Structure 1
Amino acid sequence: MWTDSKPDMREAGRKEARDAGPAVKRLMALTGDMPHLDKFMQDKLFALQLVVWALRGVTRVILANNPLSGSLMLAAIYWASPWQGLLGTLGLLTSTLVAVILGQDSGEVWGGLHGFNGMLVSLLMGVFNSAGDWYWWLLLPVCLASATSVFFFSGLSPVLDRWDLPVAVFPFNMVIIIYFLCTGPDNPYFPHHLAVPPSWVPPNVTALSATQVLQGIPLGVGQIFACSSLGPSLLILAGLCLYSPLQAFHALIGSAIGTLAGLSMAVRHECLYTGLSGFNGALGCMAVGGLFFMFNWKTHLLAIATAFLSAYVDIALSNLLGAMGLPACSWGATLTVTLLMLLRGDVATYRIPLGQVRAPEQNLRSRSRWQAGSAVEQESTDV
């Protein structure tokens, strides 16, 4: 009885494996950078192309590049606050359309590189706005500041390209500081809250809650989008995991390290509970842990060190700028990662050329290709 059925069972198993193969490939095609989608969208309506470009821009905020992940992250922002979702969408579309009108590089526009700075500027404006939600006058500076980020991006690109460095969120950090310095907290049209230094401890401080500190770790990932709600933050993390599980792993590690750095510096409990201590660490850890550097045990340790350094630089800058009522935004991670990408020696051998950066898993698969390209380029330039 058993001997008769075993061949049939083996044949059925092979058939299931053959049937599962294409299904797995289709699922895998939804992860990573999805380059095939750009080819598919080339002859489609401009409005549909704009949607894909914008969704890629959403994920660029968190160092990813996947429109499906972008849809999850945008849904998370609307879930946390419809008003914030509206501001983020407006800033995203404004900066993308301005880049198209100005004739910026098409590859940069398709990849969402001109959208994410505008989105971040608009989200921070909404968070610090003291006039409350649905304050329609705020839409005017949101559009102007988002458009300005395109000019900053375009101006910084040729300068940073000389060292093969990304423009990253330099435009966002610069534009938002300019906006806060121009308006001030008592502006009759665009008032905003003053940033509080993390070292400032209010009187009658309560005991530290371990549960809330642990909850602040996933919130640190959400704070990259200025989101302080747990459910939306987990959805953002799920969208990042769809793009790259390895990058999502480093985001959590970096946020945990940033939280630990905040504990070591005795920052305000609110910074620990809301994830404000963790998001710069998450950004720094993701950038080095497989994105701009080839992933291995050395760069993994470097990513951990980067998370610590990003968090401490953020605390220092937050205390400095907070004295003037200004937020430090993501200056800590931006400056730290930029300096690390300029390092020479053994670390530089693991650096991935900027034009060949993909999802960490794809970087691992294409390691031999970009290393060979680098070797050929070095031979051709040696005198």
Structure 2
Amino acid sequence: MLEPAVDLPSRLQRLLPTMGTLHQLHRPVARLNPGLVSLLACLRGFAQVIFINNPLSGLVLLLAFLVQSPWCALLALLGTAASHCTARLLGLAEGLRSEGIYGFNGALVGCAVANLAQFDRPLSSLIWAVLVLLGGALTTLLLEGLGRGINRSLGLPPLTLPFILVSWGLLGLASLAPAAALALAEPTPMPELASTSQALAHGLLRSAGQVFLCPNPWSGLLVLIATALASPLAAGLGLLGALAGMATGLLLDVPLGAIAQGLWGYNGLLVAIALGGIFYAPSWASLAVGLGGAALASLFQFGWGLTPAQGWPSLTLAFVLATWVIQLLVRRALPALIPVSLHAILTPEEHRQRYVLARTLLADFRQNLHLAISGQRRAFLAGRVPALLRQQMSALFQRLDQDGNGDISAAELLDGLGIDPQQAGEAGVLAAQLASVLQAMDLDGDGRVDAEEFGELMLRLQRLRLGEARLLNYLLPVDANGDDRLDPAELRRLLASVGERPLNAEEESYLFSHSADGLTWLQFVDHLLLT
């Protein structure tokens, strides 16, 4: 199987060092105090609600909860801690625990109780706190049981479904219990606004806060800051999604006060981030899908209000349903929109870099394949190289060219690498592979590898190695049948995903002539490098 990628730094990440997942904090924190690793996991759990795996973002979110109310901060901590500890007691995957995957549903349960319950009596407050602990633990059980079942049967992520089910259960329990034991807060009155623009302006910040059931606009601002610290692109997608959701609400003639409270934007915000940059690499296609999903979420929310359950809070149900429906539709109708493997999810910025790298390499591959078939292969990277790097490659070539005749033979290359071609086993296999590489390096077909051809291969190798992790993670989901091979149909899908036309019959025959059952991934990478 292909190995998952690591989070690679980008130019934007160097300008904004808080970007990404900040996994580099794990080791120093563990050395300082192993107990703090669990705190990092809880902070990541807060941020995972908005698809951000960043402890600094989680810390800012904790501040957002505190701005909303001390109870919100306390219960969010209790909920995510209960979820995390339950996962640890059950011996669930340590990697998922440390990423906060088992914490975000519990955090949402705490936020929901903090903003839907009443805390004016000590006994009632204590009971609610205990219920948050139990509810947080239950979200882990649901995520591991129901969530895995949904993923196995439908190939869909469970998202916030455990939070929804547990919160509904707690609200149902409160409706049956005496008011003195489990009192619920009165609904917040809707503001009366004179204009649509005023409602949209008020609703934009509150939409971000309402993801955590926090209507305070300052909490909403902190949620946006927390998102932007790790992924400015995710923050931008979220704002566009919130606007799309609110605009759909306006078309449905919902009250302006509800829009101003952010109640018609938070589902769209989540859907746009999920579809526009997390589950699919950011592109014009994924943006359209994300905004369409945001509008669909508002339609689902509107439909909920027409059911007998209209008095019951829908929470993030519209987000879950819209995301699932769009993913199923894309899978059937837009196969060229390749999803990001769940284990390789990082940030929209990283996903975009993978997409751009794959698009560049596949465009060059397509061009070189055409030239190779017509016998016109050429060096196309040499002109883009800085003078210093060109000098370094020239010096390396001269060291390998032992007889100084201006070209490299297989014997000279093997000797330079310290490989004995007479040896059996791996050395002999490697010698045969190098002979094949030398043949591919001979771009003009004259039987010799000169300095220009050698430099071309080194440049292609350098470019591929620098982006290998990103490229392989982009390629992973293309292998739909899981056989670790790339067949012609999968290659057509891969090319379509980056806007390249499919291979013609001659090109396909040239590529797959010796591999009727498809290319292994290593063979395909060799073609990207050597064709």
Deviation at 1:157, TM superposition (A): 3.6
Contact kept, 8 Å, 2:47 with 2:58, in 1: the verdict is yes
Contact kept, 8 Å, 2:206 with 2:215, in 1: the verdict is yes
Contact kept, 8 Å, 1:262 with 1:311, in 2: the verdict is yes
- Which residue in 1 is equivalent to 2:274? 287
- Say yes or no: does 1:116 pair with 2:104: yes
Which of the pair has more CA radius of gyration?
Answer: 2
- Say yes or no: does 1:258 pair with 2:245: yes
Higher RCO (C-alpha under 8 Å, 6+ residues apart): 1
**Distance in 2, Cα, partners of 1:22 & 1:339:** 33
1:275-306 CA-partner distances (Å, limit 9, x unpaired): 01110111111111111011111111111111
1:211-263 CA-partner distances (Å, limit 9, x unpaired): 24311112101110111111221111011011111110111111111111222
- Which residue in 2 is equivalent to 1:144? 134
**Distance in 2, Cα, partners of 1:318 & 1:104:** 38
- Which residue in 1 is equivalent to 2:473? 370
| Alignment root-mean-square deviation, CA | 2.9
**Distance in 2, Cα, partners of 1:302 & 1:282:** 13
- Say yes or no: does 1:78 pair with 2:66: yes
Could you say if the C-alpha distance between residues 43 and 371 of structure 1 is closer, same or farther in structure 2, counting changes exceeding 3 Å? same
Could you say if the C-alpha distance between residues 360 and 102 of structure 1 is closer, same or farther in structure 2, counting changes exceeding 3 Å? same
Deviation at 1:139, TM superposition (A): 0.7
Partner of 1:329, secondary structure, is coil
Deviation at 1:363, TM superposition (A): 0.8
Structure 2 letter corresponding to 1:177:
W
Deviation at 1:40, TM superposition (A): 4.2
Could you say if the C-alpha distance between residues 347 and 372 of structure 1 is closer, same or farther in structure 2, counting changes exceeding 3 Å? closer
Could you say if the C-alpha distance between residues 251 and 132 of structure 1 is closer, same or farther in structure 2, counting changes exceeding 3 Å? farther
* Correspondent of 2:315 among 311, 329, 348: 329
Gaps of 5+ in 1: 1-20
- Which residue in 2 is equivalent to 1:190? 182
Query: What aligned pairs does 1:1-383 form with structure 2 within 5 A after superposition?
Result: 28-43=16-31, 45-132=33-120, 135-162=125-152, 163-184=154-175, 187-188=178-179, 189-193=181-185, 207-208=194-195, 210-320=197-307, 322-323=309-310, 325-342=311-328, 343-347=331-335, 349-367=337-355, 368-375=471-478, 378=481, 380=484
Deviation at 1:182, TM superposition (A): 2.3
Give the TM-score normalised by the residue count of structure 1.
Answer: 0.85
Deviation at 1:339, TM superposition (A): 2.2
Contact kept, 8 Å, 1:220 with 1:276, in 2: the verdict is yes
- Which residue in 1 is equivalent to 2:505? none
Partner of 1:358, secondary structure, is coil
**Distance in 2, Cα, partners of 1:118 & 1:153:** 10
Deviation at 1:380, TM superposition (A): 3.2
**Distance in 2, Cα, partners of 1:26 & 1:298:** 28
Contact kept, 8 Å, 2:106 with 2:136, in 1: the verdict is yes
Moved more, 175-184 or 49-58: 175-184
Deviation at 1:365, TM superposition (A): 1.8
Deviation at 1:195, TM superposition (A): 7.0
Contact kept, 8 Å, 1:195 with 1:326, in 2: the verdict is no
Contact kept, 8 Å, 2:88 with 2:97, in 1: the verdict is yes
1:52-78 CA-partner distances (Å, limit 9, x unpaired): 101100101112111111111111110
Paired-residue identity, %: 26
**Distance in 2, Cα, partners of 1:192 & 1:237:** 29
Could you say if the C-alpha distance between residues 23 and 329 of structure 1 is closer, same or farther in structure 2, counting changes exceeding 3 Å? closer
**Distance in 2, Cα, partners of 1:177 & 1:234:** 28
**Distance in 1, Cα, partners of 2:121 & 2:241:** 31
